Structure 1
Amino acid sequence: MRILHTSDWHIGRSFHGHSTLHALSGVLDELVRQVRDHAVDVVVVAGDVFDSAAPSAACYPVLTGALRAMADAGAQVIVTSGNHDNAARLGFQADLLREGVHVVTDPLTVGTPITITDAHGPVHFYPLPYLEPALVRHLWEDVPLRTQHQVIEHAMGLVRADLAERGGRSVAVSHCFAAGVEATPGVEREIRQGTLDVVPLSAFDGPDYVALGHIHGRQRLSDRVRYAGAPLHYSFGEADKPRGSWLVDLDAEGLAAVEWLDLPIPRALTTVRGTLDELLADARFESAEGEWVCAQYTDPTPQPDPMRRLLVRFPHCATVMHQPEGARAGDGLSYARRVRAARSDAELIDSFLVHVRDGEGATDREAEIIRDVIGERVVAEAKA
């Protein structure tokens, strides 16, 4: 069986104020071509299909068009929700799509596989929709579920129990922050509150292959546990990371081969650095004129209208930063810097505690209380 592992489409995400829908549609067309050219049997989309819990109307045709095209190309498609997705909205799509397209968002389906058969027999796919501890702990009241680690451990326990009865080959799909990955700061919205929410690789023991989502760059954690990353660059911090998907082959015994398939990059991202006059005239920056540009100008003092002036040469200049040469780097310890760097409510609270306690953040017990309070708020908002 041949499987294409992709994730983190983030349909509807903007890039420094610019829509990415057109560019993403083109890349997904190429993904469909890969499905056809490589005779893919199953496409796995490991979460964060949409970028927002309330995607605009223009986002839905991008998703349905891509899923239907993949099905038309001969593949079955398995889609799970990620932390950016609204499970109810994404799940609503399931009954509207054709046979062979499976959209899995219900936590109660964990441990129940989607079984697809090839010449060697059945392959059991176990999709794990994104499992927010505060929203799912009532489903398994006899199990302590405070962190992503605990939730994934429990979910994979259900998977292994079911697999022990069925036997055969298997693939698990999850959207989480696994131990050993290298994240891009400011890109992936955290699924963790402190280090407790990092999921160890041992949690994924059992299946022949584990298709992960959430990290935007491809990652190989082991031969059988991988992240595919996002199909587009959504940050200049990702500029050096390839875009693509994993082509996974299962034979009669299990995992046989994994190959990386590159996807096209609609417009390259580059960072240019120099004085404003150099950026506007120096020939060494000619190659960047058609690319997305992050411009860092090094003049001692701020210059008037730098963006307007740079756009004349770089029509796709997305952001401008004033970084004077020789300026003393900040130590990052001011309260304002800590607040801006916080990527979750828990980190924001911890930043306040560090500020008022002269560098000492929340204790383990305090962090647990903070997680519970935030979890209760999440539940209240979900019911509102």
Structure 2
Amino acid sequence: MVVVIVLHTSDWHLGRTFHGADLLAEQEAVLTYIAELVEREAVDVVVVAGDIYDRAVPSAEAVRVATTVLTRIRRAGAELVLTPGNHDSAARLGAFADFAAAGGLHLRATVAGIEEPVLLQDEHGPVAFYGLPYLEPEPSRHALGVPEARGHTGVLGEAMRRVRADLAGRPATRAVVLAHAFVTGGEPSESERTIAVGGVEQVPGSVFDGVDYVALGHLHGPQILAEHLRYSGSPLAYSFSEARQRKSVWLVDLDGDGLAGVRRHELPVPRPLAALSGELTALLTDPDHEQWREHFLSVTVTDRVRPVDAMRRLRERFPYAVHLDWRPEGGIPGAELKYGEAVRGRSDVEIARSFLDDCRGAAPNEREERLVHLALEAANRAEVAKL
């Protein structure tokens, strides 16, 4: 049986950093793998459901990676349908859309004509791809001509009403919708930017009824909300909360009757994430920790006294340590006190001494005590001079 194969991906976030570490090399590696997968699986269409870039004005290097990857996918034989997410600039992403469409790259970035699909053909007839850009509720309700619409549900509901109306005039047409939204039942990670309006950001899955498949973007974990309603998730982990997620894409099969099946294909992990905890000396010397050398690391040091220059020392062994916490065994004494309680009835010297103790878990030594006295005396003289 001949089927149309659609690869569903989203949330590339090209140009994003991970706790300050550049990710473009890792992003290009995993997206190149997707391009190779397109060729191996003879994918017909690749849909990218928003957040191609991490910011509205991407860097030149991020644009270079996007151009390189999209070219590889196109050369592998697939058409592409892209929509902007809440991180993208719809105007910038959609620039030269008509020109790009002639080469097989379909950029659906405007509210105007939102019900006009990209039409592709197979032996069973047409397949319509409706690309819904991220719809910011306030401007979108006016652009859609429904000023009474409220929130994400209102504007997406109107967009899908238009899609269904168009589809009703296309008999025997199978339909795929791309949307960037937080659908009820989805599980967020720590790396998504909130899209809440008036405290509400979720929309019910029923908004998308009436089509064969909905390719969702926005949430970074791969998720199945219904057989035809799925998040692909991001191709890389963008927070340590995603360390256990198995990043993947969906391969969607459409036959003459519609959705024939969906296959999950896991993606390689260019640089895994891990978390380590322990006293700094043990972290730096334990041979068992050598396995984490090439991982992005979140490290928690548990020394009773805050170690000096801990991150620099950690990076000498673990060059990809990107996050550091200090949580001494037994907790930080007095950490539960409110500021007013902590300073009430205490001299400036006592407060300064306590501050140092709280920050690093050890009281000042004799030399530091002298420096505290000198600093406070200088501050007092400066205050007197102002009088």
Length-normalised TM-score, structure 1: 0.83
Q: Which residue of 1 aligns with 2:305?
A: 301
User: Quick check: 1:175–1:214 contact (8 Å CA) kept in 2?
Assistant: yes
**Structure 2 unaligned regions, length at least 5:** 339-387
**CA pair 201-11 structure 1, distance change in 2 beyond 3 A:** same
Q: Give secondary structure in 1 for the equivalent of 2:183.
A: coil
Q: Which residue of 2 aligns with 1:38?
A: 41
Counterpart-to-counterpart distance in 1, 2:51 and 2:322? 24
The aligned runs of 1:281-360 (5 Å cut-off) are 281-327=285-331
**Structure 1 unaligned regions, length at least 5:** 335-384
Q: Which residue of 2 aligns with 1:378?
A: none
Q: Give secondary structure in 2 for the equivalent of 1:109.
A: coil
Q: Which residue of 1 aligns with 2:276?
A: 272
Q: Which residue of 2 aligns with 1:156?
A: 160
Q: Which residue of 1 aligns with 2:83?
A: 80
- Which of 5, 8, 22 aligns to 2:8? It is 5
Q: Deviations over 1:253-279 (max 9, x none)?
A: 111111111111111110001111221
The aligned runs of 1:172-183 (5 Å cut-off) are 172-183=177-188
The aligned runs of 1:1-384 (5 Å cut-off) are 1-95=4-98, 97=100, 99-167=103-171, 168-185=173-190, 187-193=191-197, 196-327=200-331
1:190, CA displacement in angstroms?
A: 0.9
- Whichever of the two has the greater Rg, that structure is 2
1:95, CA displacement in angstroms?
A: 4.4
1:93, CA displacement in angstroms?
A: 4.7
User: Quick check: 2:144–2:158 contact (8 Å CA) kept in 1?
Assistant: no
Counterpart-to-counterpart distance in 2, 1:195 and 1:14? 28
Counterpart-to-counterpart distance in 1, 2:197 and 2:286? 46
Counterpart-to-counterpart distance in 1, 2:309 and 2:335? 29
Code of the residue aligned with 1:122 in structure 2: it is P
Q: Give secondary structure in 1 for the equivalent of 2:158.
A: helix
Q: Give secondary structure in 2 for the equivalent of 1:166.
A: coil
Q: Give secondary structure in 2 for the equivalent of 1:157.
A: helix
**CA pair 194-277 structure 1, distance change in 2 beyond 3 A:** farther
Code of the residue aligned with 2:179 in structure 1: it is S
Identity of aligned residues (%): 45
1:327, CA displacement in angstroms?
A: 2.1
1:61, CA displacement in angstroms?
A: 1.6
Counterpart-to-counterpart distance in 2, 1:120 and 1:173? 22
1:150, CA displacement in angstroms?
A: 1.0
Counterpart-to-counterpart distance in 2, 1:164 and 1:271? 52
User: Quick check: 2:132–2:179 contact (8 Å CA) kept in 1?
Assistant: yes
Length-normalised TM-score, structure 2: 0.82
What is the number of equivalent residue pairs in this alignment? 332
User: Quick check: 1:149–1:196 contact (8 Å CA) kept in 2?
Assistant: no
User: Quick check: 2:144–2:155 contact (8 Å CA) kept in 1?
Assistant: no
Counterpart-to-counterpart distance in 1, 2:31 and 2:42? 16
Code of the residue aligned with 1:47 in structure 2: it is G
1:191, CA displacement in angstroms?
A: 1.3
User: Quick check: 1:177–1:192 contact (8 Å CA) kept in 2?
Assistant: no
1:92, CA displacement in angstroms?
A: 1.1
Provide the alpha-carbon RMSD of the alignment. Answer: 2.0
